[in-house]
Structure 1
């Protein structure tokens, strides 16, 4: 598991996510456990066939799917109960919604700014 995850606060958050593999596997309404500026953790679907380092399109559904945070994410870690995704690519609208979500739930503006700075300073993978 990468050390970079400790730079980002995990926010417990009840939501669903759709996880779509490039080769066609689709996992709908996966239960989100937590989110961060750098990714998310979901409950492992029963029929999961993904592997570490696989890339998926992840849609985080907010407000009854009225807001969708879309990202391309890599499987960073997984166990029998959960799957952790590291965000690889996210559009401006989605990062704006994700930042706002974290901001509303973090309750520490200074910590949010430090995490945003860390995110911007990270080298590309």
Structure 2
């Protein structure tokens, strides 16, 4: 059995994301599998060349790209089918939209506030 130490609830969510790094690698319209207050999981693009701990800018596109949640993220999980990103930096507007998205999809308001508290209390890396 896998030891699941996940602090943040994963919310299955249908959306696309644009992923880019400082070397100019761009992956457009990646299919989002799920999101959390601390990152997201996408389907791995066919031409993916990133590695664990690589840093990317991830734009999560909502409402036909009318709303964009932008975060600086690190590759935390990588397998043949998916890539998991850990959010390292996110602006106030983006975290507000992300919180609302999670809030609308989590049935337990108490769980949301516990996760927000855990997010605030996390040590900086």
TM-score (norm 2): 0.96
Q: How many residues align?
A: 123
Q: Distance in 2 between matches of 1:45 and 1:21?
A: 14
Partner residue of 1:67? 67
Q: Distance in 1 between matches of 2:5 and 2:67?
A: 25
Partner residue of 1:49? 49
- The offset of 1:107, in angstroms, is 1.2
Contact between 1:5 and 1:38, CA under 8 Å: does it hold in 2? Answer: no
1:34 corresponds to 2:34 = yes
* Structure 1 residues without counterparts, runs of 5 or longer: none
- The offset of 1:4, in angstroms, is 8.9
TM-score (norm 1): 0.96
Higher helix share: 1
* Structure 2 residues without counterparts, runs of 5 or longer: none
SS class of match (1:7): coil
Partner residue of 1:115? 115
Partner residue of 2:19? 19
Q: Distance in 2 between matches of 1:39 and 1:115?
A: 13
Deviations 1:45-82 (A, max 9, x none): 00000000000000000000000000000000110000
Q: Distance in 1 between matches of 2:4 and 2:123?
A: 11
